[in-house]
Structure 1
Amino acid sequence: MIEDKVWLIEPSGPLRGDVEVRGSKNGVSKHMVAAMLGTGESSIHNAPEVGEVGITAAMLEALGIHVKINEQEIRIEKGKEIRPQVPHAFSGLNRIPILMLGPLLHLAGEAFVPLVGGDPIGRRPVNFHVEALRSMGAEVEVGEDGIYAKATRLRGARIELPYPSVGATETILMSAVLAEGKTVIKNAAMEPEVVELALFLQRMGARIELSPDRRIVIEGVPELHGAQTWLSGDRIEAFSYLAAGLITRGEVRVHGCPQDRLVTAITTLARMGAQFEINDDYICATAPPEGLRSAAVQTDTHPGFMTDWQTPLMVLFTQSQGMSVLHETVFENRLVYVPALQEMGCEIEVFDQCLGGPRLPLPRHQRQALGRGARGVQATRRRRDAARHQGGLLRRAGRRGGRRHVTTARRPAHRAGLPPAVRAVRLARSEYPQRRVKAGEPGVWPGSAGRRPSE
């Protein structure tokens, strides 16, 4: 029986000091997969100490790849014999197996990977990956236990993704670098982690061209060699520390994450009133004496507001003045952590319809949340735990802060029968009397002055 670890969090006042963030969790495992394509040893520095590294290393070793992990350094080298099947034991642990299809086809001409897993934040189908590989000449069959593929030689192709999927873009990149001919990816994901992976492949000898219109061009080469790289700081971790400092009215200086990875996040917090000190060594955010203002934020693909940032942002919303709005457009179940915050006393209402105009044809899942600011949170697995961790920083015994439910606050009796979305929009209008909010008007939010939150 596996026992769950319990985190005990005791508030100790404002968080102050310096913290160094390590390499990106979303990038390290992809670099490890890319390293299996090289003829020599590759090394990845500034690697984070996360479970994803150990799981990916075990997968690679099961395939015949040599992996050595020494603190913040990972060394990877292809073995003499490649076993093209990822064992079923890794089924459902993460989404890395799907990225191994292309490299295994290059190394062995065939591949099997088990069903992928990952956080339960919404549907992340593998059809983009499968169709891309088929376009490049692979025979792919999706079974109940996993995915089978075989190919004598992958060929370059023109691939247009229906959505700028990060995982699908990475699959195509690692499949195209050794393919015959040229591959063009249209509507590719351009997240910093994707670009960093492309740069690593380029160091290994790949020919990759990045265009500003979400287009990536890859010219296949006969072979790749080993390379070294230093992972840039994790932008999710960096934002979480900045938010924690603001939540506790402290001052946290975050080192190791470049400013260009946090451009949208910094601007979003600045619009809420956060004051920044930014230089080549660190990024620091502090709250003004009067507290932070409410905001309306919409998640988006890069360079928009990152969907992974919204968990700490939601906690920050509970400590801001007025009512805030968060619109999730990437994953339909990303707000799975909200009940954990509600248990701690946060006033948050979740809707399964867009209050400001739909952006994506998502199914009817909970994807928009409204929260009213408060002072203090009362306490009673991965993303849910992150929300609890930051909420725990605010716990005050016997103090609820006079919170009100967003759909009942200032609600006249004759409006009690109105649909929740209509009540919420009317409440938003009362909160922002100078800025009208029209239901169904795309991209217009209270407090945004007609701009999209991601602009």
Structure 2
Amino acid sequence: MGKYVINGGSRLRGEVNISGAKNSVLPILAATVIGNNTSTIFNIPDLRDVEIMEKILLYIGCRVERTDNIIYVDSTSLDKIDIPEELVREMRSSIILMGAMLSRCGEVNICYPGGCEIGPRPIDLHLKALRQMGAQIEESHGFLLCRSNGLKGCEIQLDYPSVGATENTILAAVTAEGTTVIRNAAREPEIIDLQNYLNKSGAKIFGAGTSVITIEGVKKFQEVKHTVIPDRIVAGTFMTCAAITQGEVIINNVEIEHIQAIMAKLKEAGCLIYSNCTSLKVIGPNKIEPVEMIQTLPYPGFPTDMQAQMMALLSISGGTSIISETVFENRFKHAEELIRMGANIKIIGKVAVVKGVKELTGANVSAKDLRGGASLVLAGLAAKGTTVIDNIFHMERGYENLDEKLRALGADIIKVSS
């Protein structure tokens, strides 16, 4: 366990480079097991979740080599179908190994996943889709034993555009007999990145980024090299850091199209944003304006993973803002910690009413989850006095060297081991 100690009040200035997307690299690493081939993946972020996925791949028999931000995976030696419980419980994204392992081995034994406690995230959509394709799934004592005598392509209508269920279905369908069509599929950029990686290896997937994805099953795969897209949530977090500190920050290695919803709300809050193809400049306002309504939605709507950061920003706005969380039920845990720092926030079910205060004050607070932790860092950057944030392992799951990058922009932040 470690802590961040932040002395607030510094304006952030300078440039920051955005690393590869956590929510893209994890499904891609899971997909490396499918083809009985070799993969070289570039732009890998240095994150705890990536380490866990590496350990899983090593455990099931893959050869994994990492050099800086490059990972090489050779899945030809894969020889296990059991996924270690202690690793799965640390990271929710490990559940996408179900589809990948069924695709490769026709069998997998995995426990229910862990990860941040941000409300119920049932995997019933995953299981329903896999069963439609012919998987037999036994649920017992927190474990899922999945078997198949050969998955069959079919038409799958998702009840909700779940990212995880879409990814799991794609991974399972890659080697299935015939054609699979996923309707009401998630449209996130990370789905497109997964499609691009798989198609480079020999898969036949069409339509990622739309609500209808078609997968034609194949049996042969080839060596593949692929570069992961930049992390849109990390980009959005640094944009909000610039905004809350009245800073001026250039953010490099971004996909502008992926962050349009974030840009729109920051402009409403008074930010000036200038962009070109792969970078942007954010100039924070002298006075943060309230935002009438933020409603989290599946992509291309406003991302739930940016809700907490925007709450921190709006806590010192010049009026009242409304935030409606429609994706996860229990994603306002950071509000009570922001209140400890002087924020005026009322939670009514899935709605937060944020009345801006003149200033926040430093306090001892605790990160309850990944993005909630990021909101406390934001609050600490703007607060008067010193803020100490514990449980920073949550942030290390999704932000590469966050303290170092903020210090390079002029923030007074240090990481203290405990």
TM-score range, shorter chain: 0.7 to 0.9
- Equivalent of 1:135 in 113, 129, 132: 132
CA contact (8 A) 2:88 2:95 kept: no
Q: 1:369 — aligned with what?
A: 352
- Corresponding residue for 2:384? 396
The CA deviation at 1:224 is: 2.0
Structure 2 Cα separation of the partners of residues 213 and 297 of structure 1? 23
1:149-207 deviation digits (Å, cap 9, x = unpaired): 11121110111010000000000000001100000001000101111111111111111
Alignment of 1:130-169 (within 5 A): 130-169=127-166
1:251 Cα deviation from its structure 2 partner: 0.7
Retained in 1: the 8 A contact 2:7–2:385?
Answer: no
Work out which structure has the larger RCO, using CA pairs closer than 8 Å and 6 or more positions apart in sequence: 2
CA distance in 1, matches of 2:3, 2:84: 31
Report the 3-state secondary structure (helix = DSSP H, G, I; strand = E; otherwise coil) of the residue aligned with 2:336.
helix
Work out whether 1:311 is the aligned partner of 2:305.
no
Match among 248, 256, 260 for residue 259 of structure 1: 256
Aligned to 2:189: 192
Alignment correspondent of 1:364: none
How far does residue 12 in structure 1 lie from its aligned partner after superposition? 4.7
Q: In the alignment, is the contact (CA less than 8 A) between 2:37 and 2:76 conserved in 1?
A: no
Alignment partner for residue 346 of structure 1, among 343, 346, 351?
343
What are the ranges of 5 or more consecutive residues in structure 2 without an aligned counterpart?
A: 387-418
What TM-score do you get using the length of structure 2 for normalisation?
0.88
**Residues 18-97 of structure 1 correspond to what in structure 2 (within 5 A)?**
18-97=15-94
2:322 aligns with 325
User: Does the aligned pair in 1 maintain the 2:35–2:104 contact within 8 Å?
Assistant: no
Q: Spell out, residue by residue over 1:18-67, the C-alpha distance to the aligned partner (whole angstroms, 9 max, x if none).
A: 00010001111111011111232101111111001110011111111111
- Superposition deviation, residue 290 in structure 1: 4.5
Higher share in strand: 2
Spell out, residue by residue over 1:200-230, the C-alpha distance to the aligned partner (whole angstroms, 9 max, x if none).
1111111111077511011101122231111
The answer to whether 1:11 aligns with 2:8 is: yes
Counterpart secondary structure, 1:284: strand
User: How far 1:375 moved relative to its partner?
Assistant: 2.8
The 3-state SS of whatever aligns with 1:334 is coil
Q: Would the aligned equivalents of 1:82 and 1:108 in 2 still touch at CA under 8 Å?
A: no
How many residues align? The count is: 381
Contact 2:306–2:371 (CA<8 Å) still a contact in 1? no
Secondary structure of the 1:112 match is strand
SS in 1 for 2:347: strand
Distance 1:50 1:213, change over 3 A: closer
d(CA) in 2 for partners of 1:330, 1:44? 30
- SS of 1:324's equivalent in the other structure is strand
Give the structure-1-normalised TM-score: 0.81
Residues 1:220 and 2:217 are matched in the alignment? yes
Give the aligned residue type for 2:335.
V
Task: Tell me which residue corresponds to 2:402.
Answer: none
Deviation at residue 321 of structure 1 after TM alignment: 1.4
Structure showing greater radius of gyration is 1
For 1:213 and 1:83, locate their aligned partners in 2 and report how far apart those are by CA, in whole Å: 35
**What is the aligned-residue RMSD (CA, Å)?**
1.6
Code of the residue aligned with 1:373 in structure 2: it is G
User: Counterparts of 2:55 and 2:201 in 1: how far apart (Å)?
Assistant: 23
The alignment status of 1:126 with 2:109, answered yes or no, reads: no
Aligned pairs for 1:272-311 (under 5 A) are: 272-311=269-308
